[in-house]
A and B are shown apart, each in its own frame.
Chain A
Amino acid sequence: MAMTIAVRVVSAEGSIFEGEAEMVVAPGQMGELGILPRHAPLLTGLRPGELRIKNGNEIEYLFVNGGMLEIQPDCVTVLADSVERAMDIDEAKAKAARDAAEARLANRTDDLDYAAAQAELLEQVARLRTLQRLREQGILR
């Protein structure tokens, strides 16, 4: 029996995952983090990206859009701004949103708009990349 760590993933809309895992991979602000049981306490922000929770042969793929990550030796807490299952990503919608954000960036009017559009673009690109990775690994279609 491998060692496991308790994982909780919550967003303001509800709790999306709660269970044990052998390993968690999260998109930290400074780069991707691999978390194993008995990890040192750590606190960081999250950027939009893929969150993998591995337990035995089962791997849960989630997409988090920013938030906070707290690690204690025996538990990992993800406080996401928003989160969805990678399987539920709407590709057409994400592509449309990405193109819209790119268009807004191309003919920007003021800098506040610029920051929002950039964040939106980053989010959509990360979302599409998550989807693409799942395809490459043959998990999705």
Chain B
Amino acid sequence: MAKAKEINAKIKSVKNTRKITKAMEMVAASKMRRAQERMAASRPYAEKIREVLAHVSQAHPEYEHPFLQVRTIRRVGFLLISSDRGLCGALNVNVLRILVNRLHELQEQGVETRVAVIGSKGVGFLRRHGAHLTAELTGLGDRPNLGDMIGPIRIMTDAFRNGEIDALHLISSRFVNTMLQRATMEQVLPVAKPEKKTVTANQRWDYIYEPEARPVLDKLLQRYVESIIYQAVIEHLACEQSARMVAMKNASDNAKRLVGELQLAYNKARQAAITQEIAEISAGAAAV
């Protein structure tokens, strides 16, 4: 009967684990819905500012903003967005893999790199591997606001302005659907010029700037970079919650299957013990 007892204890422990993963799955599901709503709400702004910038890049201003200038690449900056908590499947591993591969490639080419990280999972991993981080930000929570993110964004944009880096890439997860998140790398600075013309006028034209070109373009481009990064963080949160939901659902399903298998083993062990007992009794009776 000892074996059956052991199995029973195991069943209980798996059932308890399943309760936890099931609860986490449901929490993630409800958080995911809210995160997706926020993502959808912040999208129009990002789209419109992209459109405005596409117009600006087709104008012929007398002043060329540094964010639009393409320079020879000597140093590259990266901004990585990861989550603060684990148990969300391969989400963080995927973004980190892109970064690490890219860092190796650049090292072979003799290009220096600077890395800034949002999210404690990314910070932890890169620290363990001895990377030097220019900026890091953790503990944003479920409802981040732009004000909290200004710090690292400023550090990277200022580095670009001062010529410490010649390009800035953003590595983050894109939300495809609940089951699928894709890790991507996108160039933020210098601002890439769109290929398709959205303004029909062919002749040279420029904006009227009020009060002047420089402060207005400065403000617009800083906003643009902030909005791209804010959007990426919001999208990452939606990714994190749905990845966690899927991971926890898999864990719950596995636990359920395991309980089934263990239950079968328990029944067999119990039956074997009873059979043996009967055999022993009847053998004892026969001997008398």
**Contact for A68 among B55, B59, B219, CB less than 8 A:** B219
B56 and A43 form a contact (CB under 8 A) = yes
Which residues of the other chain, A, contact B45 by a CB distance below 8 angstroms? 10-12, 14-15, 79
Which residues of the other chain, B, contact A14 by a CB distance below 8 angstroms? 41-42, 44-45
Query: Complex formed: what's the CA distance from A48 to B271 in Å?
Result: 80
A28 within 8 A of B: yes
B207 and A12 form a contact (CB under 8 A) = no
A43 and B41 form a contact (CB under 8 A) = no
Report, as a range, how many residues of chain A touch the other chain: 20 to 34
B253 within 8 A of A: no
**Contact for A44 among B42, B199, B209, B227, CB less than 8 A:** B209
B104 within 8 A of A: no
**Contact for B48 among A29, A45, A77, CB less than 8 A:** A77
Distance in Å: Cβ of A30 to nearest Cβ of chain B: 5
Interface residues of B in 170-224 (CB under 8 A from A): 199, 205-211, 215-217, 219-220, 223
Per DSSP, chain B at the interface is helix
Residue of A nearest to B210 (CB): A44
* Residues 74-99 of chain A, each 1 if its beta carbon lies under 8 Å from chain B, else 0: 00010100000000000000000000
Residue of B nearest to A18 (CB): B44
Which residues of the other chain, B, contact A10 by a CB distance below 8 angstroms? 44-45, 48
Interface residues of A in 13-45 (CB under 8 A from B): 13-15, 28-30, 40-45
Which residues of the other chain, B, contact A104 by a CB distance below 8 angstroms? none
Which residues of the other chain, A, contact B44 by a CB distance below 8 angstroms? 8, 10, 14-15
A10-B45, A29-B211, A68-B223 as given contacts; A43 in contact with B51, CB under 8 Å: no
B219 and A45 form a contact (CB under 8 A) = yes
Query: Complex formed: what's the CA distance from A30 to B55 in Å?
Result: 22
A72 within 8 A of B: yes
A70 within 8 A of B: yes
Instruction: Tell me the B residues contacting A by CB distance below 8 Å.
Output: 41-42, 44-45, 48-49, 51-52, 55-56, 59, 146, 199, 205-211, 215-217, 219-220, 223, 227, 230
